[in-house]
Amino acid sequence: MRALVKATAGPGLELREVPEPVCGPTDVKIKVMRAGLCGTDLHLEQWDDWAAATVKPPLTIGHEFYGEIVEVGSEVSDHSRLRPGLRASGEGHVVCGACRNCRAGRRHVCIHTQGIGVNRDGAFADYVVIPATNAWVQPDDLDPDLGAVFDPFGNATHTALQWPMVGEDVLITGAGPIGVMAAAIARHAGARHVVVTDLSDFRLELARKAGADMVVNTTRTSVREAQRELDMKEGFDIGLEMSGAPAAVNDMIDNMNHGGRVAMLGLPKDPYPIDWGKVITHMITIKGIYGREMFDTWYAMSSMLQTSPTLRESITSVITHKVAFEDWQDAFDAARSGQCGKVVMDLTR
């Protein structure tokens, strides 16, 4: 089968023929139809310090995918839910099931988590094998492109739904694909004002189309000015930090209402200081977010899409590029350019 492989330590990837993965007794084998690019994949291609410390080549990369179940392991008991012919996306975090958090039902904070396409072979290939418990069966009529972005859609959902949003004023820093999806979710969840900041006019326009009331290019306009334009007297109630940029984080803290709540998904490159005095005296709650809650986030995603054609359209609008798998280098170039939302590769022949 075809697979996009990190063959050796160092920059670059190779599209090569490799043996099909074997479906174990507790696994499912999925024929991949679509695969989405993530920042993680760019790190692996470039072979930065994080990639060098994390990945052991050779490895098939990729963890955002959608496809058709073609085989179910002999020891998988839930054959009413998992059977060949069904379409599925996959949860990209494989957990141990035995640590304290797993046994307490908090699998998203498993201390032994392995990443598909990072610590084990992934989905930039014609076939991928994952634990049966990681397969999320999708409706037959779901757009395959949308099915391929459930992983980042889950990140946005996990972050945005940390606290009730009805009637709240929401600030989202970072208009990458996950930030744009979060704007759509905030709109769907009943926020009063949804404001998105970024440095890219292209990505801010995606956020506007997805449901943001106001988009702010912070090279030209301050968040404080946006508050005045919206006649906001007391600052934002909820902050969703998607950028990992120290300046954006501090800007958010400066513009939160007393008692405001901040969910942080954006990963910074390096440590940085923040104004802890303001966090303390303004009683701001800060919560780190990683991945998706297994599997409450997945239920929330599916339920929201089933009940809202508007949200389906908004999430789908984040997909700006669709590229044939053979042209994977074009897909990576588009993702690196910054002039894109989600980039999806089509693996159907």
Positions annotated as catalytic residues are 40, 43
Q: Distance of CA 292 to CAs 88, 146, 299, 321, Å?
A: 17, 17, 11, 24
Q: Strand, coil or helix: what is 96?
A: coil
Q: Find out whether 285 and 257 touch, Cβ atoms under 8 Å.
A: no
Cα 247 from Cα 137, distance rounded (Å): 40
Q: Strand, coil or helix: what is 276?
A: helix
Q: Strand, coil or helix: what is 93?
A: strand
Q: Find out whether 332 and 42 touch, Cβ atoms under 8 Å.
A: yes
Q: Strand, coil or helix: what is 152?
A: helix
Q: Distance of CA 29 to CAs 72, 91, 119, 218, Å?
A: 6, 14, 18, 46
Locus of tokens 């968040």: 223
Q: Find out whether 73 and 24 touch, Cβ atoms under 8 Å.
A: yes
Q: Find out whether 28 and 87 touch, Cβ atoms under 8 Å.
A: no
Strand partners, 72: 28
Q: Find out whether 185 and 304 touch, Cβ atoms under 8 Å.
A: yes
Cα 172 from Cα 115, distance rounded (Å): 27
Q: Distance of CA 217 to CAs 187, 199, 204, 318, Å?
A: 20, 5, 8, 19
Cα 34 from Cα 89, distance rounded (Å): 10
Cα 72 from Cα 155, distance rounded (Å): 27
